[in-house]
Structures are given as C-alpha cells and as structure tokens.
C-alpha cells in the first residue's frame, strides 16, 4: 500500500528547488485547461497522440516525441540531478528490499519534474481518476534488453515545493473490496467512470462535494518526502486547498519502476 518516506533534508531540498527553477529554458509547456510544465520526458504525456491517461492494447502509439524529449533532457537531468538520484535510489532500495537503478541501457527517460501553477479550476477535482499503466508502453523494448521483465511496478512522487495550504493524493485501495481480478477490475472501472462523470461537472462541484460522492482516501504530501506505492493503485491528484496564492507552485519529482532481471529499473 501507499506510504510516505523521507528523502531530502531541508538544505538539500532548498538546493533542489533552486536547481529546478534555474532550468526554466528546458521546461516543456503543457497545453490544456490546467497550467503546468514538465522537466523531462513523461511516458503518459509524450508516448503517442492517442494516449488519454491509460493504456489501450488496441491503439497505435508513436514514441517519437518521447524519444526526442528524452534524448535532449536526459543529459540535462543527469548533469543537474545525479546527486538527487543518488539520494533517491538507496531510499527506494531500502523501502522495497529490492535494488533500484537508473540505467542508460534501458533507453528510458530519467525521473523528471511536474511543475503545477494555480489556475481557475485548481481547487476543483480537475484531474482524472486513473491507474499508472505506463509500463505497458515499454514492455516490448525492455524485453529486448533484459532477460526477464515482470509486470511488477512502482510509482513515486517526491515533493519539492508545495502550496502553503498543502497538497496531496486521492486514492482508493483494493482493501475496500474482495479483490478478485474480476471484482478489482469492476471496482476500478466503476470508480473511474464515476470520476469522469463528475469531472464533466468540475465547474459546479466543490472539493467537499466530490469527496462525499467519491469517498477517496487522502494522502497529505510533505516537502522532502516521497509517496510510494506498488502495483495498480487507483489514484488522482487532489485539488488545491484554499487559500490559493497566485504566485505559488507545486513541484514534484515523478517516477516509476518496472522489475527487470530482479531489480527495479526507474524511469518516467
């Protein structure tokens, strides 16, 4: 299940924030009703034009954009945040009791950053309920590189800068139901469908009304700490809390891992 783990001391956290903000020219602007940038290639955003947040086995995907951004920004990330990866990987390894590595031979994007900014609807439940199925995009290529690739996956988010009123994650654990594969699938789909239905009413539904309808659990983020979970956890970025200051930012390091040859290969 999901947990919160300390990674950075206050001094290193401050240094990390300054580094990120100094690399403004390398940010990728993401267009949509929400306002955010990324620093690095993100599978869920950059792997093909048909991607809508979950993997579709019948769709066709194009890795061109992912490869372009990855090839440019992996060296930038390594130059500026190799020290951060050195802080992160031992913590992941200790928590998972399995070696965690970032390997150039995997040909994957290094963990990168989300930079969210306040916008008109940021205090509403504007993000979709979803599962992290990004690993599916990379299975074919990873199977050519590693001897054994398992669908044993992890997701982590390390908070660097948070709004003064806080930030966090909604999630729906399988412990709420008798989790056979069929029941889990139905539970996931029903929750996702209900979330999408309410998302269409974003302008008219408050955070409080949404929480009453969807009954999510809430994980409060903390600067310098990493949220970490294994497998298919149904989750959603929680809305911003009030009060919202116009000059605030919500900056996090994002990453996933997939088990290859007995170790978790970390990527974004």
pLDDT in tens, 72-94: 999 999 999 999 999 999 999 99
Domain range spanning residue 8? Answer: 3-267
Please say if the pLDDT value at position 123 is more than 60.
yes
Q: How confident is the model at residue 120 (pLDDT cuts 50, 70, 90)?
A: confident
Please give the average per-residue pLDDT across 21-40, as a whole number: 89
Per-residue pLDDT, 180: 77
Span 200-224, pLDDT tens digits: 887 778 999 999 999 999 999 999 9
Q: How confident is the model at residue 199 (pLDDT cuts 50, 70, 90)?
A: confident
Q: How confident is the model at residue 232 (pLDDT cuts 50, 70, 90)?
A: confident
- The CA angle 28-52-179, to the nearest 5 degrees, is 125
Per-residue pLDDT, 116: 94
C-alpha distance from residue 190 to each of 1, 132, 176, 181, 186 (Å):
21, 17, 13, 14, 6
The total number of structural domains that make up the chain: 1
Per-residue pLDDT, 160: 98
Percent of the chain with pLDDT over 70: 91
> Distance (Å, rounded) from C-alpha 55 to C-alpha 82?
30
Task: Kindly report the pTM of this predicted structure.
Answer: 0.92
> Distance (Å, rounded) from C-alpha 86 to C-alpha 141?
26
Please say if the pLDDT value at position 18 is more than 70.
yes
Treating both helix axes as pointing N-terminal to C-terminal, what angle do 207-214 and 181-199 enclose, rounded to 10 degrees? 160
Q: How confident is the model at residue 171 (pLDDT cuts 50, 70, 90)?
A: very high
Q: How confident is the model at residue 52 (pLDDT cuts 50, 70, 90)?
A: very low
Q: How confident is the model at residue 53 (pLDDT cuts 50, 70, 90)?
A: very low
Per-residue pLDDT, 181: 75
> Distance (Å, rounded) from C-alpha 141 to C-alpha 267?
14
Please say if the pLDDT value at position 179 is more than 70.
no
Which carries the bigger pLDDT value, residue 124 or residue 15? 15
Domain CATH number, residue 53: 2.60.120.620
Q: Which residue has the tokens 């660097």?
A: 160
């Amino acid at each position: 299940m999901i947990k919160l783990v300390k990674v950075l001391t206050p001094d290193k956290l401050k240094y990390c924030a300054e580094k990120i903000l100094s690399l403004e020219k390398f940010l990728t602007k993401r267009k949509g009703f929400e306002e955010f940038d990324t620093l690095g290639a993100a599978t869920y955003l950059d792997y093909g034009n048909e991607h809508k947040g979950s993997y579709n086995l019948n769709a066709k995907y194009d890795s061109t954009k992912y490869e372009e951004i990855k090839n440019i920004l992996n060296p930038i990330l390594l130059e500026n945040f190799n020290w951060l990866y050195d802080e992160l990987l031992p913590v992941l390894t200790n928590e998972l009791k399995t070696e965690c590595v970032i390997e150039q031979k995997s040909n994957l994007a290094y963990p990168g950053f989300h930079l969210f900014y306040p916008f008109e609807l940021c205090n509403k439940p504007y993000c979709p309920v979803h599962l992290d199925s990004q690993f599916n995009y990379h299975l074919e290529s990873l199977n050519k590189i590693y001897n054994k690739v398992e669908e044993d996956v992890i997701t982590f988010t390390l908070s660097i800068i948070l709004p003064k009123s806080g930030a966090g994650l909604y999630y729906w654990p399988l412990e709420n139901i008798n989790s056979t594969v069929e029941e889990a699938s139905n539970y996931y789909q029903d929750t996702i469908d209900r979330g999408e239905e309410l998302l269409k009413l974003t302008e008219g539904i408050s955070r409080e009304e949404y929480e009453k309808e969807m009954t999510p659990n809430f994980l409060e983020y903390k600067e310098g700490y990493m949220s970490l979970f294994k497998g298919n956890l149904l989750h959603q970025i929680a809305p911003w809390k009030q009060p919202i200051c116009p000059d605030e930012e919500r900056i996090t390091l994002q990453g996933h891992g997939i088990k290859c040859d007995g170790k978790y290969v970390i990527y974004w």
